Amino acid sequence: MKNGYFAALDPFQPYSSQSVYSLGWHNLALNGQWVPAHGGSQIGTSTEFFRFPSKNMAIVFGANTQGVNGPLFIQRLYELLTDEPWEIPVYAKDRASQTFYDGLDSAFEYGAAWFDRRRKPFTDDPQELAKAFKYFNGAVNLGSLQSNHQAALKAITDGLHPVADAAFLKVGSFIAAKLREKHGAEHEKVYHTMGALPFFADYINLYQSQPKFPKELRFNEAFEKVIAKWNEDWARTWNDYTQRLTITTASDIDVLGQKLKQLFAGAEVYPNFVWALRNASLQSGGNGVKAAKLNLDLYPHHWRSNASWGVYLLLLQRSPGALEGYRKMFGELGQPLDYFKKSFELNPDGLTSAYMNEIAKGYSDSKRFDDAITLLKVAVELHPKSPILYGSLGNLYAQKGEKELAIQAYKKALDADPDFERAKEMLKKLAP
């Protein structure tokens, strides 16, 4: 623990967005289950080991090649063996709603996984539980998120940690214990398949059916109404079709878009296919543009869909004829910088200078130098103090033989970082 936070809590890949790394093991919270896992590679081998104690199952992967993405094979085998999804991707209608859902998911994932591992709640002390539910009700609150998003987001982020007395762990594990007591272990497959929303909806139904259930262990009326609506929306949209849907560059985007728009109509929460549509949009031609536009239409408040559409508009501006054709197809397209700015506002940690530089590098590696330069010119508007972006811009100009523009870019890189050695070296060559 460090400064009131679990130091081992690692919300990043490679294993899962719900992974805690400690003492050599990744302890995954997988749809409310505890899953210890580990893996590694050396020259000539790659290995992975995942245990699923509640299912009395383990999956081991081995390859005679280094650097193989073993978890990808583990995930697919898990889905085939259990008929349960590895991921339960939820998109909510706006930023406040998405953070509200993330709060629900945090308590469900880690709290239920705590119970799954230990077969008991974090605490059964009435005073501790009352305090934890009070904290949860205050943090996971749409009104607070809409009026002061940053403060509410911090309260949700802190909820798992000792700094907040591990309130979310206490709430989630207590609910898991009560639902096990009410419905039995077999019913937990519902939560492993459907996630946080039926988990909370079932708990609300449980206490509403018991007039003497302690008031301090209930949620407020506004919370109950949101869960009722969202659980209904989620049950309708996270169905057999969407659970098994695979989106690729071969997908018919017109048919897919029509089906998903019809299915998601009127829903405040529905499945999140942002990443899959983003990958489908990377192909050249009309299908790629259609995938990027569908991504934006379905997920207007996601940073990645806005970033992807911004990239497409940026590149289309270099082809006036194609741009006009897509205007006729989609209507008003907007300006690339507006979508980049919205993406940055939605998630400052998403559209980073490193992320934009990586996209530009991909274009450069494919000999699409003009596309890379076009993107980097916008990137430096968003990140005017990034030496890496200016350095990459200078490199591209130098490759194209545009000496003066390269010198200008390298000078700006040095303005941002006077110790940027690459820029110093290139300026000596270009302007001795």
In terms of Cα–Cα distance, which of 202, 206, 207, 197 is closest to 227? 197
SS3 content of the chain, % helix, strand, coil (to 5): 60, 10, 25
Q: Is the pLDDT of residue 432 over 80?
A: no
Q: Is the pLDDT of residue 6 over 80?
A: no
Lookup result for tokens 């949009």? 281
Alpha-carbon span 127 to 1, nearest angstrom: 24
Quick one: average pLDDT of 93-120? 95
Transcribe 73-101 into DSSP letters: HHHHHHHHHHS--S---EEESSHHHHHHH
Q: Is the pLDDT of residue 302 over 60?
A: yes
Torsions phi, psi of 261, nearest 5?
-65, -40
Confidence of residue 3 (pLDDT cuts 50, 70, 90): low
pLDDT score at 16: 42
pLDDT score at 21: 57
Residue that wins the pLDDT comparison between 66 and 239: 239
Q: Other C-beta atoms within 10 Å of 39: how many?
A: 19
What would the two tokens of residue 258 be?
Answer: 């029509």
DSSP annotation of 252 reads -
> Which amino acid would we find at residue 157?
T
Q: Is the pLDDT of residue 136 over 70?
A: yes
> Which amino acid would we find at residue 402?
E
In terms of Cα–Cα distance, which of 288, 322, 137 is closest to 227? 137
Alpha-carbon span 37 to 28, nearest angstrom: 7
pLDDT score at 78: 97
Residue that wins the pLDDT comparison between 20 and 369: 369
pLDDT score at 331: 85
> Which amino acid would we find at residue 102?
D
Angle formed at CA 273 by CA 148 and CA 156, multiple of 5 degrees: 25
* pLDDT tens per residue across span 181-226: 999 999 999 999 999 999 999 999 999 999 999 999 999 999 999 9
* pLDDT tens per residue across span 26-40: 888 999 999 999 988
- Lowest mean pLDDT of 1-15, 42-56, 98-112, 391-405, name the range: 1-15
Helix, coil or strand: residue 331: coil
- Lowest mean pLDDT of 24-33, 112-121, 160-169, 410-419, name the range: 24-33
Q: Is the pLDDT of residue 19 over 70?
A: no
pLDDT score at 269: 98
- Lowest mean pLDDT of 137-141, 229-233, 264-268, 420-424, name the range: 420-424
In terms of Cα–Cα distance, which of 44, 386, 304 is closest to 377? 386
Alpha-carbon span 384 to 267, nearest angstrom: 39
107-124 burial: b if 16+ Cβ within 10 Å, else e: bbbbbbbbbbbeeebbbe
Alpha-carbon span 178 to 187, nearest angstrom: 12
Q: Is the pLDDT of residue 15 over 70?
A: no
